[in-house]
Amino acid sequence: MIPAIQIKEVHKRFGSLHALRGVDLSIERGEFFALLGPNGAGKTTLISLLAGLARADSGSLTVMGHDVVRDYQASRRALGVVPQELVYDAFFTVREMLRFQSGYFGLRNNDAWIDELLENLGLTDKADIYTRTLSGGMKRRVLVAQALVHKPEVVVLDEPTAGVDVELRRGLWDFIRRLNREGHTIVLTTHYLEEAEELCSRVAMLKQGQVIALDTTANLLRGQTQAQVKLRLNPPRLPEALRPWLMDEADGCFRLALPGYADLETVLATLRAEGVIVEDVEAAKPALEDVFLRIMGEAA
């Protein structure tokens, strides 16, 4: 079966900046896929190439088998992109914007789907309000609706929940999960790595324009070899000897990354010697954020 997205040996330069350095990536139909990386890794550049907003210097990109340059009309019809920036027409209402967007794809009588989008994205009561009067979070909802108005087979979400409240975030993901269950391919970029961990079955990590890790989320988490423990201490003070293992601390709790669980005895002995009482201890599951930081560090 032809992949939803196929990227082969893609290079892109902006002057002296080599933004993409031979990216190879295949995303299968129906996947919920995460594209992760620090700022400047090349994620948005890659999305721009897929959307036809820029052209690769070399290599090829296809969406549902359609080359983004030679067969750009079909590739763009198959793709819906929620951009990172807030882009909207200040002089139209929300409903008018969605109708115009439908028209770009030759869709008439699309009001039933528009109404469904408005309802699922919590925009029904904003449908006849000018977009310029909406809050930032509401404008981002409109961007999601615009990307979905032509029912694309592939949906790319570039930081869709940045600056969005918890209620909308939950509602948005419920709706996106539903689209994924119905067969839509979802590609997500986000700095909220807990979202990627919860939602995405496979992850690619980019750094300086190169894919440095590509695997299932489960395999990446299994590859986290450090043993992590969370300790609640009284008094809430970690001895200096244990500080090299400290990952983070909050509200009297300290999360440590140990070489192995056998080292927990060393931790407990050190705490006893310092007169620090362990009120609670639990093994902490590795998080995708920990894997991300390790991989990025190793690729430095």
Note the pLDDT tens digit of each residue in 108-129. 889 999 999 999 888 899 999 9
Note the pLDDT tens digit of each residue in 166-185: 777 888 888 899 999 999 99
Mean pLDDT of 3-14: 96
Is 131 in contact with 92 (CB distance < 8 Å)?
A: yes
Q: In whole numbers, what is the pLDDT of the chain averaged over residues?
A: 89
- Tokens for 225? 């070899």
pLDDT over 70, % of the chain: 97
How many Cβ atoms sit within 10 Å of the Cβ of residue 45?
A: 22
64 falls in which pLDDT band (50, 70, 90)?
very high
Least confident of 40-44, 51-55, 136-140: 136-140
Res. 218: pLDDT tops 90 = no
Res. 225: pLDDT tops 70 = no
What does the DSSP 8-state code read for residue 243?
G
Is 149 in contact with 102 (CB distance < 8 Å)?
A: yes
